[in-house]
Structure 1
Amino acid sequence: MKKITLIVSILLFSISANSQITKGNWMFGGDAIIRGYKFENSEKFRYYTEIFPKAGYFVIDKLVVGSEIGVFINEATLYTSFVPFTRYYLLDVEKKVNPFIEGGVGLERISYKRGSGDPTLTEFMYQFKVGTSIFFTNSVGLNITLNYKNNSFQFDQEISVAFGFQIHLEKKY
């Protein structure tokens, strides 16, 4: 295990990368989120995992505008969401490790399986994320984020940690 940790550390610090977070480039990827939530009248948090594909376009250097789509299915519910977002990278474009802030406003829909007696809910939500991208190459990076989400109906608030990959495609002139 120590050898694997050493090899990964050397690779992370030895790779030279210029990230593609400049105007005209595209960002594609997704996050795997470990999410905790709490019902309005409950003291107990519950946890589950979701995957959110994401796409965006850099309108200026370090500023990407895009959207993410979420889907989660379990034995009782189908959850879907659509959230337009804006992300801003805080450091220069050539930094291999670059923190960012992100915010989004969107809608989510929760459909309960037949026979449960609960209706389908559509709710307004907003979210904020702080995180960092670690660029392995000029096109591939790992994201780590801390997320806060507030819903208008079912949950008061959600806090989550996400890990994901992103791919940046350079615009050819």
Structure 2
Amino acid sequence: MKKVLFAALMTIAVQGVFAQVNKGQWLVGGSAGFESHKRGEVKATQFTFSPNAGYFFIDKLAGGLRVDLTSLKYKGEDASSEFLISPFVRYYFLEAAQKVNVFADASYGFGSVKDGGESASQNGFAISAGPAIFLTPNTALELAVQYRSMGGDAYADDNLNTFGFKVGFQIHLGGGKK
């Protein structure tokens, strides 16, 4: 009986190991990011929380939707908030069942900035990359470097280009191929 139970547990464990970045998987999670930049002579700090959900259309390539909720504080001014909805694509470079994988992520979003009771539209793109450290076969801690370029009515004729860091957590769900 112990051998049968052990064999059943091993079968389940092995199937889970190969279920990280395969076609048919779901990706659910999010990240928190920090950026610091200077616009003109004024320094700013920015914190972003970004929940996301995606689907692996082919092995190692997922696409989905992300929502960016941002608090932006310019030195000496009140904080403003940003809201952005972004379709994204994400590619994992290594094969499934790796303890550490490397990913690249790109998104383009539309939203608004609220500052002092006034609202203005914005749009922009973001590119990030870094390691995904699989804590279990289906959960990953992510560290990434990000480049963002924002424009639209909120930024007049100047785009806001920033570099930042993100820490994220993703859960890989679903059957996927075995």
Determine if the TM-score, normalized by the shorter chain, exceeds 0.5.
yes
Range of TM-score over shorter length: 0.7 to 0.9
In structure 1, the residue matched to 2:133 is 134
Q: Deviations over 1:93-128 (max 9, x none)?
A: 1211001111111113101233xxxx4211120111
Aligned mate of 1:109, from 112, 122, 126: 112
The match for 2:97 is 94
* Distance in 1 separating the partners of 2:69 and 2:62: 22
Distance in 2 between the 1:99 and 1:172 partners? Answer: 19
1:144 matched to 2:143? The reply is yes
| Cα drift, residue 76 of structure 1 | 3.8
Aligned counterpart, 1:37 = 37
CA gap of 1:172–1:134, structure 2 versus 1, over 3 A, is closer
Amino acid at match of 2:119: T
Post-superposition Cα deviations, 1:25-81, rounded to whole Å, max 9, x if no partner, equal 100111010122332x23x54223221101100000100001110113475423101
Cα RMSD after superposing both structures: 2.2
Identity, % of aligned pairs?
A: 28
Uncovered stretches (5+) of structure 2, i.e. residues with no partner = 1-15, 73-77
TM-score of the aligned structures, taking structure 2 as reference length:
0.77
TM-score, normalised relative to structure 1: 0.79
How many matched pairs? 152
Structure showing greater radius of gyration is 2
Instruction: Quickly say closer, same or farther: Cα 1:120–1:167, change in 2 above 3 A.
Output: same
Contact kept, 8 Å, 1:27 with 1:168, in 2: the verdict is: yes
Structure 1: 5+ residue runs without aligned partners?
1-15
